[in-house]
Amino acid sequence: MKSNRLVIAATLFLAAGVALLFGFTSGTTGFTLGYPFSATKLHLDITTTGIPALAGVPLLAAGALLLFMAFVAAIVSQYSQPDPHDIADLRSKRQDPFDE
């Protein structure tokens, strides 16, 4: 099972969820830099209301689930054996007639 399509779907779902949640946000952000680096603060106050909050959270959850499934599929594909091809049934190029 290839994980390419799962990664693309996960990326789209995650991007849509984050865009909905942060695109319709009303809030404040603060960053304070202090000399002892332990005094440095980052404050995010994010509030999303209405339909974007109702649609954004399930999209983020679906994207995270798809990303986990893609991760598992990628691990499984690393350990699976490729399908063997029967070489005896294949015609070689030397047996093909010349096209003129």
Bridge partners of 32, per DSSP, are 41
List, for residues 35-56, the tens digit of each pLDDT value: 888 889 999 888 999 999 999 9
Q: Which two tokens stand for residue 24?
A: 């319709």
In angstroms, the CA 45 to CA 73 distance is 37
> What are the residues facing 30 on neighbouring strands?
43
Residue 61's pLDDT is 95
Q: What is the DSSP letter of 24?
A: T
Distance (Å, rounded) from C-alpha 41 to C-alpha 32? 5
Q: Say how far apart CA 15 and CA 55 lie, in whole Å.
A: 12
- What pLDDT, in 10s, does the model give residues 81-92? 766 665 556 666
Task: Please give the pLDDT value at position 80.
Answer: 79
Name the band, by pLDDT with cuts 50, 70 and 90, for residue 27: confident
pTM of this structure: 0.66
